[in-house]
Structure formats: structure tokens, C-alpha cells
Amino acid sequence: MESQSSETPLATLSLNIPAFNTTNTKSWFVQIQALFDAKRITSQRTRYCYLVEKLPADIVEEVMDLLENVPDDNPYDRLKEAILKRTGASNEAMLHNLFTQVELGDRTPSHLLRHMRTLLGDNKMSENIMRSLWLDKLPTTTTQILAPMTEETQTEKLADIADQIHESFRSCRVNSIQPQPAQQRDREFNDLKSTVERLSIQLQGLLQKDRQYPRDKCPGYRKRSFSRGRTDNRNQKDEICYYHKRFGPEARRCTHPCSFNNANAGN
């Protein structure tokens, strides 16, 4: 008891616990646990007292049985468990929120992605499904630019690019609120258009990188000139192909049409 009483005044002067978070109780307990660890507050009784002090009235009513009769063993842990179980959002509720209520709002696309992963909690979900849910909550203009990206691209990398696109459009919207001459609005619109085009080119480069091999380096590739194509369309009956023109009877190849063999027979 003496060690606890000597610990309390020091903790009272230096510990500043944030207000209770009704939106995400689990994350709030993570915060105060970090504070307890930083200040080396290990006493279950001291932690319990700090916790009770920060509980709002509606939460107090939910755990009144543990407040009127303080548990002898691990009072903080037992109170924490009761709060999470009785007032914290269930996994089903968090998933429902993930599918229906989450919106981009004032968040950046990457912040939205992190928030959705937090709501997912310990539940398992395919990365492709999470990616699809996240993209559905982004503005149409952003998803259209991101559309060429393949499934192999990491979702976090997509989020970084989406942040750049989001910031470009946000800057344009902010500037459009202020009265501006038509010439300046046109210039800002062109700047935004250039930014979008640049991002699109970057995306195309990511898609093509390490996937394309120059066609003129491929074995058996032969460029076809336009002049050659026009010559073929003339349908000249007495035309001699390139190989027989150059090598005569020693030519080992021949392309149609070619009258070399017929001319040889006539001679």
C-alpha cells in the first residue's frame, strides 16, 4: 500500500490521459496503455483509478457493478475487459460500418485506407476485396485515373498516387472559390489538366515497366515500310522480288509476287 501511495502523486502530476473515445474504445485503451508504460505505472489499482476518472456517465452506468465493488484481483484489467465487452463495437458492427457508413470526407485516400483496415480489426478479408471497397469510396475522377493499374500493384502504392490526384483536385476546388479573372481560371484548369495527364503517364509507365521488350529487338521482327506496302498494292504482274533483284538465281528466298522464275524459263 505504501508503494502505491508514493506512486500516485507523481503520476497525477505528469500523466495526461485523453478523453474517452466512444467511437473506437479499443484504440483509446491502446493510447492509455502507452502512457502507463511511459510513466512506468504498473499498479493495477492506480491504473484502475485513472480509468474510472476518465469514464463518461453513460459508460459508468454500464460498469457500475465493478465500480461499487472494486475487484480484489487485477481491478484495471477486469474493468477494461468489461468496458470493451459491454460498450465497444462488436466485430460485426465494425464490419457493417466498413461496408456502409465509411466515407472519404475530409480524409486523404491513404488515410481512408488505414481507417478501413482499423475497422476490419482481426477479421480476415481478401486484399482484392478490401482494395475494391476502398476504390468504391473514392471520387470517380480518381478511380478513372487509377483504373489502368493492375492487381499486382500494391494497394498502399495506389493510395500514395491517389493522394497526389486528390491534392491536385482539392487545390483546384479551393482556388475556384475565390473570384478570379477568366484567364487565370483557364490557366489553373490547364495546370490541373497537365497534372492529371502527367499522373496518367506515370501510371502507364508503371504498367509497362519490365513487361515490354522493344519489338525491333525481338527475333524474327522485321519492320514493314509504307513504300513497300504501296508497291504491293499496285499488283504488278512482272515485278521481281527484292531477293531476286539483288541476288539473282543465287537468291535463297522469294516473296510474292515475283516473276523471276517465269522470266528465267522464258529465256
Quickly tell me which residue has 490521459 as its cell. 17
Cell of 266: 522464258
Q: What is the pLDDT of residue 148?
A: 77
Q: What is the pLDDT of residue 167?
A: 83
Please say whether the beta carbons of 73 and 123 come within 8 A.
Answer: no
pLDDT of 215 strictly over 50: no
Cell of 155: 494497394
Please say whether the beta carbons of 14 and 7 come within 8 A.
Answer: no
Q: What is the pLDDT of residue 84?
A: 87
Of 78 and 102, the one with more pLDDT: 78
CA dihedral 163, 166, 168, 171 (to 10 degrees): -120
Of 225 and 253, the one with more pLDDT: 253
Q: How far apart are CA 97 and CA 119, in angstroms?
A: 8
Report in angstroms the alpha-carbon separations of 34 from 8, 25, 26, 245: 17, 15, 13, 86
Of 53 and 12, the one with more pLDDT: 53
Cell of 96: 457493417
Task: Collapse the DSSP code of 220 into the 3-class scheme (helix H, G, I; strand E, B; otherwise coil) and give the result.
Answer: coil
Report in angstroms the alpha-carbon separations of 144 from 96, 97, 136: 27, 25, 11
Span 40-81, pLDDT tens digits: 999 999 999 999 999 999 999 999 999 999 999 999 999 999
Q: What is the pLDDT of residue 210?
A: 47
Highest mean pLDDT among 16-20, 24-28, 263-267: 16-20
Quickly tell me which residue has 495546370 as its cell. 191
In this prediction, residue 189 has a pLDDT band, given cuts at 50, 70 and 90, of low
Highest mean pLDDT among 71-75, 202-206, 230-234: 71-75
Of 60 and 178, the one with more pLDDT: 60
The chain-wide mean pLDDT, for the chain, equals 75
Mean pLDDT of all residues in 178-182: 55
* Domain residue limits, the chain: 2-86
CB-based contacts of 207, cutoff 8 Å, min separation 6: 148, 149, 150
CA dihedral 239, 245, 251, 255 (to 10 degrees): -30
Of 254 and 135, the one with more pLDDT: 135
Q: How far apart are CA 181 and CA 189, in angstroms?
A: 12
Q: What is the pLDDT of residue 90?
A: 63
Mean pLDDT of all residues in 205-234: 49
Task: Collapse the DSSP code of 241 into the 3-class scheme (helix H, G, I; strand E, B; otherwise coil) and give the result.
Answer: coil
Q: What is the pLDDT of residue 121?
A: 75
